[in-house]
Structure 1
Amino acid sequence: MGSFSIWHWFIFMLTLAVPALLFSRIATKAGYPGWWALLGLVPVVNVVALWVFAYSDWPKQPKR
């Protein structure tokens, strides 16, 4: 059971980076800055950020 190897850290960083990258691309297409993806990594803030993202008016979406 010793310490973690470099592969464990690599997989850990991939599990953080891939969803953050995808959320960043979705946020920029919606008109929000890409740093909103960092809010997805903070445990309680991610729920609030997702709520705001889902129910607010998107800047790039035309008004109806």
Structure 2
Amino acid sequence: MGGISIWQLVLLSLIVLIPLLIFGPTLKKAGFSKWWSIVMLLPIANIIAIWVFAYIKWPSEQNSA
């Protein structure tokens, strides 16, 4: 009684893994470290990070110019 059930653990794992699996490869392709996808788990920081990544010069664009 009062413990975490297996379903809660599965749901928590999905909530953590889905942003990492979606944003990790996207950030890596843009030239950033895939570890920046951890920011997507933080409530306000994720909105700010998406906005910042949309408007800064990406490392992959700087190398090809």
TM-score, normalised to structure 2's length? 0.79
| Shift >6 Å, 4+ stretches | none
TM-score, normalised to structure 1's length? 0.80
Give the aligned length.
62
Q: CA deviation at 1:3?
A: 4.8
1:46 paired residue number = 46
Where structure 2 has 5 or more consecutive residues not aligned to the other structure, the ranges are none
Mapping 1:1-64, distance limit 5 Å: 3-61=3-61, 62-63=64-65
The answer to whether the 8 A contact 2:31-2:60 is kept is yes
Describe the superposition over 1:2-61 as per-residue Cα deviations: whole angstroms up to 9, x where unpaired: 654112211221122112221011000000111110111111111111111111111112
**Aligned-residue identity in percent:** 39
* C-alpha RMSD over aligned residues: 1.6
Where structure 1 has 5 or more consecutive residues not aligned to the other structure, the ranges are none
Say which structure is richer in helix: 2
